[in-house]
Structure 1
Amino acid sequence: MPHPLARLARWCAAHPALTVAVHLALLLAAGVYAGQRLSQAEGPNGVALALFDNSPERVWGEGSEPLQQYHRFRDRFGADGIELIAVHAPDTLDVDDLDVLDRFADSLAEEPGWSAFWAGDLPYAPRERSDGSLAVFLETLDQDPGARRLLHAEDGGWTAGVLLVLAPEVTDDVSRRAIAPTIRSRWDEVAPPGWTMASAGTPSLFGALGSAVVDSMQVNLPVANGVVLLLAAWAFRRPWMVFAAMAALLQGEALVLAAFVGSGRSFNYVSCYMAICVVVVGFAANIHLFARYTELRRGKPHAQALAQAADGIAGPVTASLLTTSGAMLALAGAEQTAIVEFGAFSAGGIAAVLLCAFTLGPALLTLGGGPVAPTPRLPDPSAIGAWAWRNAGAVLTGTALAAALAGWGVSRLALGSSVEECFTADHPVTRSVQEVRARMGAFSNMEVVLSWPKGGAGDLVRTLRTVEDALVTGLTPERGPVQAGDVLSLAGAGRAFCLAPGTAFFCAPDGLPKPQHTARLMDRLQKRFGLSLVTVDEDGVHARVSVLLDLPEARASNDLAAQAEVIAREAAPDARIEVTGFGPLWSSLEEAIVDDLLRSFLWSAGVVAGLLLLLLRSVRLWAVALPANALPLLGVAGTGGAVLVFGGMHVNSTAAMVLTVTIGIIVDDTLFFLLGLKRRGDFSEAAVRDVLREVGPGIVLTSLCLGLGFATLGASSFVNAQVVGLASATVIAVALLGDLLVLPACVRVLAATQSPRSTP
């Protein structure tokens, strides 16, 4: 009895006009569904957020404790994003230079939700500037370790730091993307010749990450479709066949993208790869139908060739869909919303493309009448498989050596992630980070929040001074010790306040405000700068201590957050401590994603292995399939481990995603090969040659489609996309070698232990 997919293909071929009409109606409905969601967005920014949103809420979901801590921090203190801007001039500092810095800071503060602070805003900065007052100001600045970094001599010139503090309403994903360009634009308005400016901070880094995601989809998705189009043109050489294959792909792609956007979801740095997966994996799945039809069309009329192609391909394609979808759907157990969405919609999209291939494809081929001339011969890898069968010992020995080397590489893998590692060495973000780091030091803020019941804070300024000192001496970042100017709190503001002329009455001999005048200091900071370092609400008194760090990778950042919590608790035992901020929040999220993906990989491996056994219904054939499919993953993980360790990089979420994505893909061609052998019940060299002559063209075209499609991501300036693209393409290439070399060699071993005509 024909497979249901084969029957569906025959029906659609018999009713082509109706089939095309149904697909056009589906496409129109999908467009309306997605359009309704986008029409509800407010303005261009709203549309952009509806399509691309890297916010933690979109990636993680709303329920995690780190996210709740971050929301509490924003509710209490407002501003949470800090951007550090380094301005350098190669000459001697004079009064006119201060005026330039003033104009620059004022222009930044004109942006809604932006507040800019520099040394000229310190309480002891001169209001009427002269050479004499400038000299006194610089001497006073040397006495203030917390502010010294904001203006200092360097390289025969001087460097000034501008702290840009961003309110929550301007730190959504779209607003973050505009931070660096806006700073540059404002600087260009005032910059004297020879001066340089660079900015870095958690907000702009994640803005650049969001821009990279947008660019990756806007560039790489069309390129991937273009690569698939060229491959179809090369393989089929007949315009109508190419049109039929591409129409089925684009229809399935459009349906799943419309479902994704219309259901209220947005692309982020995890789910953005879903579209590429749908394109390359979906086309690779349906290319078997068109490849088999091409071969059969050489000697058979259109209707007969199409029917036989559908009958022969429907079963193996369904099996491959089950393994691929099973691996993707195994991600449903992840905690992060973005991972679940990636798996579910990737599986749905691949299924949609496959259904379109077996419905719209046959209908369009029928309307076109089929090729009017013999179709070109497709690549035949049967000779390679036969050679591997004859030389099984050498092939398996080489495989064992490669696996041993790969195992060493796997042992060198370093888990973790850094936003800085997401960008290439020549990327503007990387250059800005390096310049700010060289001139100003640390720039990524971690927020330590101390809370007391009302009336329980005691001498708040001195308690915070104790916490500051403890953090400076106790934290141990990998890139160097924490400096006094890296820790900002009400205590530091109090020191600066007491250095100003006329404040002796309010200050104690230790250089800090007297306890009874703390409220005056808080009020002054709020009125002058709109900055809340201490807040009071129904839950008590809350004080923030901002620690600037040199952008640690995710696991190191989480370790530092744990250190900071312990240090602050020891320095202020009566306080309740929380460590948060956007940087630490992202580090927690990224580490959780990596751990989740690795767990999902194990689940996916189990699901795929179980489905292989179920579909092959033979323990022997199942044992044959495992080495050929384990080798690509082991090889790429091992090679990646060696490369990453020598490059000082870490396995981040996108690198971990490669394992989960590809494990369900690479077994597809294995299934086509082994199911063909199973039907013959023969493991001889002749059987291997015959099966590869039948399914080999589809296997080669599938691998080309997958490899070239994923490889398009390698041209991105976004390192995460490069890793996904090149690593996935490498897995596919090694998997092809496994199917053409390792599988036949393993079949030879199986043939030696079993009667050739016995049922597997």
Structure 2
Amino acid sequence: MKWGAWLARQRWTLLIATALISLALWEPASRLKLDESIESLYDERDPFLLAYQRSKANFGGDEFVLVAYTADDVTSQTELLKLKEFSDKLSAVPGVRAESTQNLWGTLRNPRATGVVRVALRLPATERALLDLSRHILIGEDGKTVCVVLRLLDSKDSPVPRSQTIKQIREIAAEHRPQAYVAGEPVQIYDMFRYVDQDSWRLGLASSGLLMAVILIFFRNLRWVVLPILIIQVTLLWTCGLLQLTGMKLSMVSSMLTSLITVIAIATTMHITVIYRDLRQQYSRLEAFQITFARLVVPMIWVSVTTAIGFASLLTSGATPVRSFSIMMALGSLLVPLLCVLILPGGILIGKVQSDPRTPFGERILTGELDRLSNWAVNHPWKIVGATVLLTVIGCLGLLRLKVETDFSRNFRRSSPVVKAIEFFETKMGGAGTWEVSFEVPKEFGELPFDKIRDLTDDLRALKLPDGTGLTKVIALTDGIDLVPRIPLGEEERRGLFRAIPRFRDALLDERRDMMQHLQPEMEPSLYNEKQGRMRIVLRALEQKPAEVKLRLIKQVEQTAQKYFPDAEASGLYVLLTYMISSLLGDQVTSFILSSIGILLCMTIAFRSLSIGLISLVPNILPLILVVGGMGWLGVPINIGTAMIASVSIGLTVDTTILYLTEYQLARQMGDTHLEAVHHAHGGAGMALTLANIALIVGFSILALSNFVPMVYFGVLVSMAMFGGLMGNLLLLPGLLRWVRMPGLPAEKVETPVAVAGN
């Protein structure tokens, strides 16, 4: 009571302090930015990221944006000039490396060509060879689709943000007739961050509005609608402000911040609301407030600590965004109870006495159902245990069937521009997935093992997986060397009777190199780094393939290349995106085990019993096994939104256990029997948490509107885990508490509902 009385006396001071701190953090919070670099998604020690960075250092940034359209007679002079004009517009976009732009006009009508090269370009054989080399890069298999390949400047060197560059490219493509499609890994990454940023705020506000409506229906009082929403928004403000002051940035994973803070805040405030409302039937407003906070201050501390432990366990992850997400969510979960203490005293006690939460519609029906549920749970513990064991086995078997989603395009809705563009490139241009295999070679051009490179190139072109999947394009330095036509002999070389007849000879290696630099000036520097002694072969593959197929293809390419060059390694954005989820999943087992151990210790200390700590894990781990195992049985692959669901959910669902056990313990200490205490806990914590779950499930339903598919999965799975945790606690804990006695409670012969009714 002393704690509650002090809060009541200091309510104005606490509100003013909250307002001042919020004003101080407003400006830093507004400067918190989303780190949109591909590197932000990986651990700095990730081997695939290191390979990508090495390639970037050796051959320049390979962030290509592809713009393609279909037209008739694309090799005619008229169409080639139209293509040149379109390409020039795209090259002028800030952030594009204009000198590296490739298109069919520049290949067939090379303006840099002089002398012998210009003559060679007029030959039909040369044109056919150039078209064949450009197939699936600058021209489609159908001969009617042309593509402009734009190479982006490194983000550090670009005069504008990457997002602005891609936005302008799309605007130019949208104005083009016929319709042009924009694709490439940088576009997918841009869209991912754009949707994440939009959803984080737009859907956050929409879900808050929906939650306000649901809470208003429940309690029919505006004050009790505004208070939880205010706590959510101030928590987000403080979290973002503190993160900015510490120099951290939001990452793709951080998009879940708003949703998870909402879960924690609604569950906490809903419990306070129900307890306070029940006490108001017997006490004055001040007394009800003091008793409420005296009863809940310790459980609130343990709720925040266990939630923070669940998130802090993710610090073991090697991925930088997961670690930053762990810190921000641990911080946010600790701020929620603090802000409840700072805001609720004034929020509850200031103003008219009549502003109390009302009884929700249908509460009597819900109370009756909870009573029946508690009776059934106490009367049928063995049935519940048997069903639990069976469901656990089924869930565990489902875990063995889990697959990882590596088709990055499946992170977007089929109606989105990026998916439509990918489908266009898959059917017309042999895909938009560009990657490479690189290896060490001599630093002298004349010493390069061209025959070995040709053999490797042939093997890669012939590579086929059992299902027929292969590479749609393979480009090696030898393709440019072999493209050079035979050179006409000079007059001094032509002798004899037939000296007037033009004759040709094979070009020497240096001559081939010189002519290749005229025909394809970007080819050598993009494939061979003479100073570092590194070479690469550029590959293209279909994007929309099953996870196991893409992983097998990457592995097969590496193994094939290593037969010729033992140090060969595959890299590129295509490879990075394929292994993205694997990098997020890598440390999840460790973090899940650590979070479980941490929560076990907290529950053991909080209730001074190892047995209570152990049984508290059962109703929280079971829903996770069922949810994730169900994904395996249904064939739903793990994506970005579901990769961390286990560690996150156990930290959220254990809150229900703490509040339930607190209500049960309080009832037993007041003299209730086991059955009476179960009824009390079901009517108190059970009622509050049921209402909170209804509100949260309705609020999370707004995530179904997200353009970013992992957010949809995340909303659904968190709702299922929360509901599963609630049902696990309401069904499993009564039976488990029948066999495990809490410390400080008297031993008793547990009564059954029938015995209670008889008495």
- Fold shared, TM-score > 0.5 on shorter chain: yes
Aligned positions, number: 717
1:166 equivalenced with 2:155 (yes/no): no
One-letter amino acid matched to 2:433: S
1:721 equivalenced with 2:711 (yes/no): yes
Return the alpha-carbon distance in structure 2 between the equivalents of residues 425 and 63 of structure 1.
34
Instruction: Give the superposition deviation at 1:331.
Output: 0.9
Name the structure 1 match of 2:271: 288
Name the structure 2 match of 1:532: 526
Larger mean CA deviation between 252-261 and 58-67 belongs to: 58-67
CA contact 2:488–2:504 (8 Å) conserved in 1: no
- The one of 134, 137, 145 equivalent to 1:147 is 134
Larger mean CA deviation between 556-565 and 587-596 belongs to: 556-565
Name the structure 1 match of 2:67: 85
- The one of 79, 99, 106 equivalent to 2:88 is 106
Name the structure 1 match of 2:102: 117
Return the alpha-carbon distance in structure 2 between the equivalents of residues 354 and 500 of structure 1.
81
Change (3 A) 1:691 1:626: same
Structure 1 residue matching 2:443: 3-state secondary structure:
coil
Structure 2 residue matching 1:654: 3-state secondary structure:
coil
- The one of 48, 63, 73 equivalent to 2:55 is 73
- The one of 215, 232, 244 equivalent to 2:215 is 232
- The one of 16, 20, 36 equivalent to 1:21 is 16
Structure 2 residue matching 1:350: 3-state secondary structure:
helix
Task: Describe how 1:594-633 pairs up with structure 2 within 5 A.
Answer: 594-633=585-624
CA contact 2:407–2:546 (8 Å) conserved in 1: yes
- The one of 537, 548, 566 equivalent to 1:545 is 537
Return the alpha-carbon distance in structure 2 between the equivalents of residues 86 and 138 of structure 1.
26
Structure 2 residue matching 1:87: 3-state secondary structure:
strand
One-letter amino acid matched to 1:579: A
Instruction: Give the superposition deviation at 1:80.
Output: 0.6
Structure 2 residue matching 1:272: 3-state secondary structure:
helix
Return the alpha-carbon distance in structure 2 between the equivalents of residues 429 and 592 of structure 1.
24
Instruction: Give the superposition deviation at 1:720.
Output: 0.8
Name the structure 2 match of 1:569: 562
Change (3 A) 1:747 1:544: same
Structure 2 unaligned spans of 5+: 114-119, 494-502, 751-759
Name the structure 1 match of 2:729: 739
Name the structure 1 match of 2:7: 12
Return the alpha-carbon distance in structure 2 between the equivalents of residues 121 and 329 of structure 1.
55
One-letter amino acid matched to 2:528: V
Name the structure 1 match of 2:756: none
Return the alpha-carbon distance in structure 2 between the equivalents of residues 683 and 494 of structure 1.
89
- 1:210-254: CA deviation from partner (whole Å, max 9, x where unpaired): 111112112122123223323432333222333333333322221
One-letter amino acid matched to 2:689: I
Return the alpha-carbon distance in structure 1 between the equivalents of residues 705 and 621 of structure 2.
28
Larger mean CA deviation between 668-677 and 235-244 belongs to: 235-244
Change (3 A) 1:151 1:548: closer
Instruction: Give the superposition deviation at 1:351.
Output: 1.4
Task: Describe how 1:329-340 pairs up with structure 2 within 5 A.
Answer: 329-340=312-323
Return the alpha-carbon distance in structure 2 between the equivalents of residues 119 and 704 of structure 1.
59
Instruction: Give the superposition deviation at 1:633.
Output: 0.8
Name the structure 2 match of 1:582: 573
Return the alpha-carbon distance in structure 1 between the equivalents of residues 243 and 486 of structure 2.
58
Instruction: Give the superposition deviation at 1:310.
Output: 0.6
Return the alpha-carbon distance in structure 1 between the equivalents of residues 488 and 207 of structure 2.
66
| Identity over aligned pairs, percent | 22
Name the structure 2 match of 1:662: 649
1:514 equivalenced with 2:508 (yes/no): yes
1:423 equivalenced with 2:412 (yes/no): yes
Return the alpha-carbon distance in structure 2 between the equivalents of residues 260 and 361 of structure 1.
25
CA contact 1:621–1:674 (8 Å) conserved in 2: no
Name the structure 1 match of 2:584: 593
One-letter amino acid matched to 2:173: W
Instruction: Give the superposition deviation at 1:589.
Output: 4.4
CA contact 1:323–1:667 (8 Å) conserved in 2: yes
One-letter amino acid matched to 1:146: L
Structure 2 residue matching 1:149: 3-state secondary structure:
coil
CA contact 1:464–1:491 (8 Å) conserved in 2: yes
Change (3 A) 1:666 1:138: farther
CA contact 2:604–2:611 (8 Å) conserved in 1: no
Task: Describe how 1:83-482 pairs up with structure 2 within 5 A.
Answer: 83-89=65-71, 94-112=76-94, 113-114=96-97, 115-122=100-107, 137=124, 140-141=127-128, 145-150=132-137, 158-169=144-155, 175-178=161-164, 181-191=167-177, 195-372=178-355, 375-376=358-359, 380=367, 381-455=370-444, 458-459=447-448, 461-474=450-463, 476=465, 480-482=469-471
| TM-score (norm. length: structure 1) | 0.84
Change (3 A) 1:670 1:96: same
| TM-score (norm. length: structure 2) | 0.85
CA contact 2:139–2:147 (8 Å) conserved in 1: no
One-letter amino acid matched to 2:560: I
Return the alpha-carbon distance in structure 2 between the equivalents of residues 277 and 577 of structure 1.
43
Change (3 A) 1:447 1:500: farther
- 1:17-73: CA deviation from partner (whole Å, max 9, x where unpaired): 2111111111122124445xx3xxxxxxxxxxx512232333335454543433332
- 1:651-707: CA deviation from partner (whole Å, max 9, x where unpaired): 134212111111111111122222333341666322211222232222223323443
Larger mean CA deviation between 682-691 and 425-434 belongs to: 682-691
Return the alpha-carbon distance in structure 1 between the equivalents of residues 195 and 650 of structure 2.
26
Structure 1 unaligned spans of 5+: 39-49
CA contact 1:228–1:280 (8 Å) conserved in 2: no
Return the alpha-carbon distance in structure 2 between the equivalents of residues 750 and 241 of structure 1.
37
Name the structure 2 match of 1:59: 41
CA contact 1:59–1:336 (8 Å) conserved in 2: yes
One-letter amino acid matched to 2:687: P
CA contact 1:495–1:512 (8 Å) conserved in 2: no
Change (3 A) 1:151 1:275: closer
Instruction: Give the superposition deviation at 1:416.
Output: 4.4
Return the alpha-carbon distance in structure 2 between the equivalents of residues 466 and 136 of structure 1.
28
Return the alpha-carbon distance in structure 1 between the equivalents of residues 297 and 613 of structure 2.
21
CA contact 2:141–2:429 (8 Å) conserved in 1: no
Change (3 A) 1:511 1:355: farther
Instruction: Give the superposition deviation at 1:288.
Output: 1.8
Larger mean CA deviation between 672-681 and 549-558 belongs to: 549-558
Structure 2 residue matching 1:655: 3-state secondary structure:
coil
Root-mean-square deviation over aligned CA pairs: 3.7
CA contact 2:235–2:332 (8 Å) conserved in 1: yes
Return the alpha-carbon distance in structure 2 between the equivalents of residues 218 and 600 of structure 1.
28
Return the alpha-carbon distance in structure 2 between the equivalents of residues 164 and 234 of structure 1.
54
One-letter amino acid matched to 2:300: V
- 1:435-480: CA deviation from partner (whole Å, max 9, x where unpaired): 2101111321112233335338713655543332232234749671
Return the alpha-carbon distance in structure 1 between the equivalents of residues 159 and 394 of structure 2.
42
Return the alpha-carbon distance in structure 1 between the equivalents of residues 539 and 723 of structure 2.
46
Instruction: Give the superposition deviation at 1:737.
Output: 1.8
CA contact 1:220–1:712 (8 Å) conserved in 2: yes
CA contact 2:304–2:336 (8 Å) conserved in 1: no
Instruction: Give the superposition deviation at 1:356.
Output: 0.9
One-letter amino acid matched to 2:599: V
Return the alpha-carbon distance in structure 2 between the equivalents of residues 757 and 283 of structure 1.
36
CA contact 2:138–2:148 (8 Å) conserved in 1: no
Name the structure 2 match of 1:676: 663
CA contact 1:241–1:371 (8 Å) conserved in 2: no
Task: Describe how 1:32-51 pairs up with structure 2 within 5 A.
Answer: 32-34=27-29, 38=31, 51=33
Return the alpha-carbon distance in structure 2 between the equivalents of residues 61 and 738 of structure 1.
36
